[in-house]
Amino acid sequence: MQSVLVTGGAGYVGSHVCKALAGAGYQPVSYDDLSTGHRDLVRWGPLEEGDLGDGERLSRVIGRHRPVAVLHFAAASLVGDSVRDPAATYRANVAGSLGLLDAMRRHGVEAMVYSSSCATYGADAPQPMNEDTPQQPINPYGWSKLMTERMLADHGAAYGLQWAALRYFNAAGADPEGETGEDHRPETHLIPRALMAAAGTLPHLDVFGADWPTADGTCVRDYVHVSDLARWHVAALDHLLTGRGSLRLNLGTGRGHSVREVIAAAERATGRAVPIRIAPRRAGDPAVLVADCTRATAVLGSPPVHTELDDIVGSAWRFMERRGCPSHRR
Ligand code: UFG
């Protein structure tokens, strides 16, 4: 069985990808410091605890497991934190990625699937955005992801690295079989917070702006089911390992949903009302972000399966019910 190293394998997207990798016959080896990930969500292969900044440890783990490729998820992923403390974001996301690339090169590992983001695009781009949309990030998080994309391209040119930069839109939902899901503490994302407000573990959901230039005045995002993302990661890995060339792809559904539509879906999923409070706009939020995923569908060979918002929000609710709803205090 071929082994692959998954940094951040105990995290939200990483754990779903581990499940998909195991289903495709790979052995996922998770490398995670458990700072935000969960030990009990590492179910499809071994866990190697370690910090991305610890190059020696990374090198030992790579030497021991001899992976054919690395899937790189470990990152500081909150936009707000990146504005408050950019040094921490650049250290984790840029310096951490460079250390990982060094360790891979030392052991001759020549393929990386990288968790990039639609945050690498600018705020004013026409929607939907394709991969040729200019990349002009508006926050340090977006820059850190774009800098790493640049490092991948340069490593490809100089050292022959095969790489895929997968730019997610809004990862959402949970494994339909309930084996893993989203469990951020604290939780900042819309869908889990709307569900927490419905469940009563949040007093209300703040809606960040109701005066945006959109049909109902709230922000529109492209919510893409995490199991679709996971399947596409395996397809991207297979693409790299069969020598079909490096990739930059948008991963979304091509459909946008407003905050109010998400709230309505959370009410249908839970059968309860979501108490809301209209709050000021959140700094750094663009009004609309929707993917043109024509290229991803063509290259990776399959459109998204979970395109209905009710399906996405319902799967998130089932996982939250099973795991226990996080409290806003934790
Ligand atoms: N929102 C609320 N109330 C909340 C939380 C979110 O109204 O309590 C709104 C936001 O303003 C935004 C939408 O819901 O319009 C979605 O917000 P999320 O925080 O769930 O997701 P983001 O769109 O901010 O973030 C996602 C990814 C990031 C990535 C970013 C790129 O989670 O990793 O897209 O813009 F960087």
Q: Is the peptide bond before 128 cis (omega within 30 degrees of 0)?
A: yes
What type of residue sits at position 52? Answer: L
**DSSP conformation class of 291:** B
Bridge partners (DSSP) of residue 250 are: 167
Range list for CATH 3.40.50.720 in the chain: 3-172+224-251
The best mutation among 146, 277, 282, 288 to test binding of ligand 1, ranked by most ligand atoms within 8 Å of the C-beta, falls on 282
Q: What stretches in the chain show pLDDT beneath 70? A: 327-330
Beta carbon of 225 within 6 Å of any ligand 1 atom:
no
Q: Which distant-in-sequence residues (6+ apart) come within 8 Å of 24 by Cβ?
A: 234, 238
Range list for CATH 3.90.25.10 in the chain: 190-222+254-328
What's the pLDDT at 329?
Answer: 44
Beta carbon of 170 within 6 Å of any ligand 1 atom:
yes
Ligand 1: residue whose CA is nearest its atom 15: 219
Q: Which distant-in-sequence residues (6+ apart) come within 8 Å of 153 by Cβ?
A: 163, 246
> Residues 249, 132: contact at Cβ < 8 Å?
no
- Report the atom number in ligand 1 closest to the C-alpha of 119: 31
- What are the pLDDT digits (tens) for 63-102? 999 999 999 999 999 998 999 999 999 999 999 999 999 9
Ligand 1: residue whose CA is nearest its atom 13: 190
What's the pLDDT at 327?
Answer: 65
How far apart are the CA of 170 and the centre of ligand 1, in A? 8
Beta carbon of 79 within 6 Å of any ligand 1 atom:
yes
Beta carbon of 282 within 6 Å of any ligand 1 atom:
yes
CATH homologous superfamily of 190-222+254-328: UDP-galactose 4-epimerase, domain 1 (3.90.25.10)
List the CATH code of the domain at 3-172+224-251: 3.40.50.720
Is 141 tagged catalytic? yes
Using CA atoms, how far apart are residues 219 and 215, in angstroms rounded to an integer? Answer: 9
Using CA atoms, how far apart are residues 92 and 303, in angstroms rounded to an integer? Answer: 32
Closest CA to 18 of 29, 34, 2: 29
Beta carbon of 119 within 6 Å of any ligand 1 atom:
yes
